[in-house]
Amino acid sequence: MGIDIIGFIRFLRDGDPLSALERIKKDNPFPEICGRICPAPCERSCVFNAEGSSIAIRELERFAADAGALRPEKLIPFAAGAKKVAIIGCGAAGMSAAYYMARANLSVTVFEAAHEPGGVLRYVIPEFRLPQKILDEQIARLRALGVQIRTNEILGRTFSIDELLMQGFSAILQATGAGLPCFSDLPGSDLSHVYYDVEFLSRLQDINKDDALAREVKHKGAPARTVVLGQGPAAFDAARLSVRLGSQVDLVFAGLEEQLGVSEEILKESAEEGVSVHCLQAVEILGDDNGFVRGVKCFKLDMVEGQQGLELQVLSQEPVIVEAQCVIISNGHRCEPLATNREKVFACGSVVKAGSVAEVIASGKAAAQKIIAYLK
């Protein structure tokens, strides 16, 4: 993201968290968010890693954000008659772009398909990782900058690109994210009580507590045992949320432990909370006679020398059966197919390339800079 890490840490060392926060916000408008959920790749590049432990940069960023926010931020609304920009999607990328364009005195309107702004930050990431209060504060600051946020606005249904251009928007930014699951071809993936990670997480958020799945968990209790299939942050979020709901949880992954796609911190916390992680396992989902999931059949894998080099192969045809009343598939995500080969239409965030929250926010900033230069 290009944050001046040395500079903001110096301000913290001097007891000036407000100046530290201002230094961070030159390149990251949402340190309150990144300080909580960023995977902190900067810490892996820290020179002190050679001595056994890096500087806790993410925690320092979070401290600067929380301590510096005790004093009001100077907010400058856009000037009258400013050029109009439309942003489609109010997730991390769209919010980032809106912040920087509003700061550049552009009139920004964000069109969000959901009932509330925030995208994945609101509907997918659990409360224990990112409190909704923190997100609400960031949305309020965007609105204080003059950003208009219109919810329940769905591209292709309630408005179109052509209609936005006819309404006088000088540029349009597509920041719709990658919220569609990559569907699995695993046997049994179509059974009842088999969910995809984002679907499971969003349906169990507090804002969706009237959902059928949330009602079932609330009134009947969580399944006795849940198996999460896959890797990455969403898989571990689903696993840890299931533990909090009262379920015994196993996370099963076909690859190596170093390919799980999460930090050592998340692995450690998940283990402490009771998530059992099993790597090098090929799986098949099992169902009962009524079409409900009843468990997962696991085959042990090993890395062997094959015709194309090292490859994973099943070690034994004798599987281990893990009984489960719920299975959650974390198989990656894809975006809606969107055209951007039009003048005045730009794109950013996961709709262009999936990444961490820091990478998505940086993408929004980069898109904002391109649009600002384009409009000048």
Q: How many Å apart are CA 327 and CA 330, to the nearest integer?
A: 10
Within-domain flag for 197: yes
Same-domain check for residues 10 and 60: yes
Beta bridge partners of 173: 87, 346
> HEC profile for 293-329?
EEEEEEEEEEEEEECCEEEEEECCCCCEEEECCEEEE
User: For residue range 293-317, what is the model confidence (pLDDT) as tens digits?
Assistant: 999 999 999 877 777 777 778 877 7
**CATH code, domain with 118:** 3.50.50.60
Averaging pLDDT over each range in 67-76, 196-205, 226-235, which range is the top one? 226-235
Q: What is the pLDDT of residue 240?
A: 97
How far are the Cα atoms of 36, 118, 231, 241, 323 from residue 223, in angstroms, in the given order? 29, 29, 21, 12, 11
CA angle centred on 292, ends 291 and 294, rounded to 5°: 125
Within-domain flag for 78: no
Q: How many Å apart are CA 86 and CA 71, to the nearest integer?
A: 31
Domain limit, last residue, from 44, 68, 92: 68
Alpha-carbon Rg for the chain, nearest whole angstrom, is 23
**57-68 and 17-25 helices cross at what angle (nearest 10)?**
110
CA 107 to chain centre: 27
User: For residue range 319-368, what is the model confidence (pLDDT) as tens digits?
Assistant: 999 999 999 999 888 766 564 567 899 989 887 877 889 999 999 999 99
User: For residue range 18-51, what is the model confidence (pLDDT) as tens digits?
Assistant: 999 999 998 999 999 999 998 877 767 666 665 6
Same-domain check for residues 312 and 221: yes
Give the DSSP letter of residue 251. E
| Mean pLDDT, the chain, whole residue set | 88
Same-domain check for residues 51 and 121: no
Same-domain check for residues 212 and 174: no
Same-domain check for residues 343 and 319: no
Domain count, the chain: 3
Within-domain flag for 76: no
Within-domain flag for 77: no
Give the DSSP letter of residue 376. -
Within-domain flag for 73: no
Same-domain check for residues 260 and 327: yes
**274 CB contacts (<8 Å, ≥6 apart)?**
243, 248, 249
Structural domain harbouring 61:
5-68
User: For residue range 246-296, what is the model confidence (pLDDT) as tens digits?
Assistant: 999 999 999 999 999 998 889 999 999 999 999 999 999 999 999 999 999
User: For residue range 142-182, what is the model confidence (pLDDT) as tens digits?
Assistant: 999 999 999 999 999 999 999 999 999 999 999 998 777 78
